Amino acid sequence: MSSPTRERAHLPECRHGRTRVTTAACDRKRKFHSLTRKSFKMAVPGFTVGAFILLLHLSSVVNYPSGKVTKSCHGMVPEHGHSPQSDPVHHISVSQTTFLPGDQIKVTLSGKPFKGFLVEARDAENLSGPPIGSFTLIDSEVSQLLTCEDIRGSAVSHTSPSKKTEVKVYWNAPSSTPNHIKFLVTVVEKYKIYWVKIPGPVISRPNVPPFTTPEATVAPMPTLSPISHLTKSFNASDCGNKKFCVRSPLNCDPAKELACVFLSFTRHDQSVMVEMSGPSEGYLSFALSHDRWMGDDDAYMCIREDQIVHIQPSRLTGRSHPIMDSKDSLEDMAWRLADGVMQCSFRRNITLPGVKNRFDLNASYYIFLAGGAADDGRIHKHSKQPLITYGKYNVTGSPKNIGGSHSLLILKVHGALMFVAWMTTVSIGVLIARFFKPVWPKPLFGDAAWFQVHRGLMLTTSAFTFIAFLLPFIYRRGWNWHAGYHPFLGCTVMILAVLQLLLAAFRPPSHDPRRQMFNWTHWSVGTAARIIAVAAIFLGMDLPGLDLPGPWKTYAMIGFVAWHVGTEIVLEIHAYRLSRKVEILDDDRIQILQSCTVAEAEGHAFKKMVLAIYVCGNLTFLTMFLSAINHL
């Protein structure tokens, strides 16, 4: 990039990217936000801000910390995948035991500290029926009204996961009611500890037969298939022969490599045995999907809780938390924990008529593989972008051995083009415009050779940037609101790039009075574009759509910046010393012409050597990043 006083010019730089950024600074309360809330996390790699994404959290009646538990209205069962406790430690009391239509009765829930709750009133003689009446809040800070069975205010739930020991509300008796009303409550102490439909007192209308139906109790949970311990590790010996295998890295063996992520399907008549293995201290999961987007998918999770692994079917609904389903469809469940590797297996039928949310396994699907942290049986966002197969596959068809990618091809091309544009073409173009005017002044196709090279490199940069700029919009079919600051920086750089092209197109002649203003504007806009582009690159490397592995990427990018800045400093010092040498020769008036020519020739040779070394180093950095993108 040229100094305005020396009339060195260059074309602009641009950068754009995509994906979801989550803030790691959220406190515990925001960590439990509702399904529609997204998380943001920020990190600082070196001197710039890095960004990361979130797709998954798991919730409940603590999974829904905002209390929006309308989906649980009918059964009043949290979607946790754990069994409820059997001995209640909370109870409900009422201000009176009889009521008339229009009466308002105070209902109090109390007991050990709890985080979530759901209170309803039901017909005591038909507890599986719809809720009766409506509630009025006493303290809207801790409780809120829900609409269940299309009845507004027919249930009360929590507003936050903060601990509470008592909740009071009013129940409003409707004009038409059954003779007897029973209050029921589900209470969540923490994710895996909760009580379902704790029975409260029965209140009755006056002058009706006494309530004699035995108190209903919580229906026992279905008997689950026993879970056993695996005695040895899975192996990949039958992949492509008897097993349909998905592996990352391709051809890895979980019996030999701890870092191997492994998923296999083995057909046995009308059932399929599934094996999943990978390094994880929290959970592993896979999902069958009709497309490359998360949502409306059939998912299976192996979740670590202390020294136990829970195997849990679930369903994904868009970019929201997984919803746990019944384990009834799974058999022969087993698991193993060893050396930081989690392994689990289960069997399920190929088709499951009448079972909701489970896909038939005799069709073709994209396969997702993901893992992440878990706390007390509750999963958090997956630690990196899921591995997604390159195409749809039928896992019950002919055995295959396939791999996948953590980044889609369109996003890989986006990243590769941006790296080429902003690490190589623009950097070399800037150096040539700034330091090589006197080195290559001879005409080439009508203009100085240095200018033709500079212009060619900058036009290449602009073309690559424009193409790469469009790719995330094509992929997302619009703007991505989950990518943090990266797309905003990219758009800013793109705007500056277009402005630079317009400035270059209307550049005044060298002796025009406006040339000085042009030089300053061109230099300022270009410098701003380069700085913002570097920040966008740092952010883009950590976004889930690309997410280059390991911390090395940050150090490599810092190394590249230092390499480029160091080269500019060397050439600046050399240019200064050369100018001083020529001035001294001129003052002494000794063989002025010959000495100046020799000094300039030596200076040109030095500049060419520095440029050659710089280009070699630049291409080395570029190759590192392109290779990493290729291996995603």
Q: Give the count of beta carbons closer than 10 Å to the beta carbon of residue 171.
A: 26
What value does the mean pLDDT take over residues 502-515?
A: 87
Q: Assign residue 396 a region (left: φ > 0; alpha: ψ between -120 and 50; beta: otherwise).
A: alpha
- Supply the pLDDT for residue 549: 73
DSSP 239-301: BTTTBEEEEESTT--TTT-TT-EEEEEEEETTEEEEEEEEE-SSEEEEEEESSSSSSSEEEEE
- The secondary structure of residue 363, as a DSSP letter, is S
Q: How many other C-beta atoms lie within 10 A of the C-beta of residue 587?
A: 9
Strand arrangement of the beta sheet that strand 261-268 belongs to: 227-229, 331-338, 341-349, 271-279, 261-268, 244-248, 401-402
118 pairs with which residues across the strands?
157, 186
Cα–Cα dist 513/213, whole Å: 100
148 in Cβ contact with 156 (< 8 Å):
no
- pLDDT band at residue 491 using 50, 70 and 90 as cut-offs: very high
pLDDT in tens, 354-381: 888 899 999 999 999 998 888 776 777 7
- Partners of 401 in the β-ladder: 245
- 298, 463, 570, 596, 597 from 582: Cα distances, Å: 76, 41, 19, 6, 9
Write the CA distances from 115 to 29, 57, 139, 157, 191, integer angstroms. Answer: 11, 18, 16, 10, 9
Specify the pLDDT at position 120.
95
pLDDT at 41: 33
375-379-383-384 Cα dihedral, nearest 10 degrees = 180
Per-residue pLDDT at 71: 76
Mean pLDDT of the chain: 81
Q: Mean pLDDT: which of 180-189, 503-512, 522-531 is highest?
A: 180-189
pLDDT at 511 over 50: yes
Distance between start and end Cα atoms, the chain: 34
- Do 272 and 300 touch, CB atoms closer than 8 A? no
What per-residue confidence (pLDDT) applies to 274? 96
Alpha carbon of 129 to those of 73, 149, 181, 386: distances in Å?
Answer: 11, 10, 12, 42
- What's the token pair of residue 428? 């070399």
The owner of tokens 């997410």 is: 547
Q: What is the pLDDT of residue 255?
A: 92
Using alpha carbons, list the distances in angstroms from residue 213 to 75, 180, 202, 217, 426.
20, 10, 11, 12, 82
H helix or E strand, kind and range, residue 621: helix 592-630
- Helix 592-630, helix 552-588: angle, nearest 10: 170
Maximum separation of any 2 CA atoms in the chain, in Å: 127
CA distance 333 to 322: 20
Residue among 277, 274, 269, 266 nearest 240 (CA): 266
Q: Can you tell me the mean pLDDT for 60-86?
A: 69
Q: What is residue 284's predicted lDDT score, i.e. its pLDDT?
A: 93
> Has residue 14 got a pLDDT over 70?
no
pLDDT over 70 at 216, yes or no: no
pLDDT value at 594 more than 60: no
Please give the Cα distance from 357 to 370 (Å, whole number). 19
d(CA 379, CA 381): 7
pLDDT at 365: 96
Q: What DSSP letter does each residue of 489-521 carry, written as one string? A: HHHHHHHHHHHHHHHHHTPPPTTSTTHHHHHHH
Cβ neighbours for 171, distance < 8 A, ≥ 6 positions apart: 94, 104, 105, 106, 107, 121, 133, 134, 135, 136, 183
- Helix, strand, coil shares of the chain, percent, nearest 5, are 30, 30, 40
The mean pLDDT of 411-435, rounded to a whole number, is 91
Evaluate if residue 486 carries a pLDDT over 50.
yes
What DSSP string describes 397-442?
SS--EE-EESS-HHHHHHHHHHHIIIIIIHHHHHHHHHH-TTTS-S
- CA triplet 396, 402, 407: central angle to 5 degrees? 120
Run of H or E residues at 479: none
CB atoms within 10 A of CB 331: 15
**pLDDT tens by residue, 147-182:** 988 888 999 999 988 999 999 999 999 998 899 999
Residue 618 CA to residue 427 CA, distance in Å, equals 9
Count of CB atoms within 10 A of residue 605's CB? 11
Least confident of 26-40, 84-98, 196-210, 598-612: 26-40
**Confidence band (pLDDT; 50, 70, 90) for 62?**
very low
pLDDT band at 600, cuts 50/70/90? low
- pLDDT tens for residues 303-347? 988 788 889 899 887 666 788 888 889 999 999 998 889 999 999
Q: Which tens digit of pLDDT belongs to each residue from 533-584?
A: 988 988 888 887 777 777 888 899 999 999 999 999 999 998 888 777 666 5
The predicted structure's pLDDT at residue 591: 46
pLDDT tens by residue, 85-142: 888 899 999 999 999 999 999 999 999 999 999 999 999 998 888 999 999 999 999 9
Per-residue confidence band for 280, with pLDDT thresholds at 50, 70 and 90: confident
Of the listed ranges 54-58, 194-198, 201-205, the least confidently predicted one is: 54-58
Confidence (pLDDT) at 66: 55
C-alpha to C-alpha distance for 561 and 195, rounded to whole angstroms: 58
Residue 15 reports pLDDT greater than 50 = no
Q: Are 352 and 329 in contact (CB under 8 A)?
A: yes
Assess contact for 161 and 115: CB atoms under 8 A: yes
Burial status of residue 5 (CB atoms within 10 A of its CB: 0-12, 13-18, 19 or more): exposed
Compute CA 630 distance to the chain's CA centroid, rounded to the nearest angstrom. 20
pLDDT band (50, 70, 90) for residue 524: confident
Return d(Cα 572, Cα 240) in angstroms, integer.
60
Residue 610: is its pLDDT beyond 80? Answer: yes
Give me the pLDDT at residue 341, please: 93
pLDDT at 219: 46
Q: How large a percentage of the chain has pLDDT more than 90?
A: 42
Q: Of residues 367 and 75, which shows the higher confidence score? A: 367
pLDDT at residue number 2: 43
The per-residue pLDDT for range 454-479, each reduced to its tens digit, is 999 999 998 999 999 999 998 888 88
Average pLDDT over residues 209-217: 66
The token duo for 269 is 């008549």
For residue 347 the two structure tokens come to 């069997």
Euclidean distance between CA atoms 199 and 217, whole angstroms: 7
Query: What is the total residue count of the chain?
Result: 632
- Checking if the pLDDT of 8 tops 70, the result is no
Whole-number percent of the chain with pLDDT over 70: 82
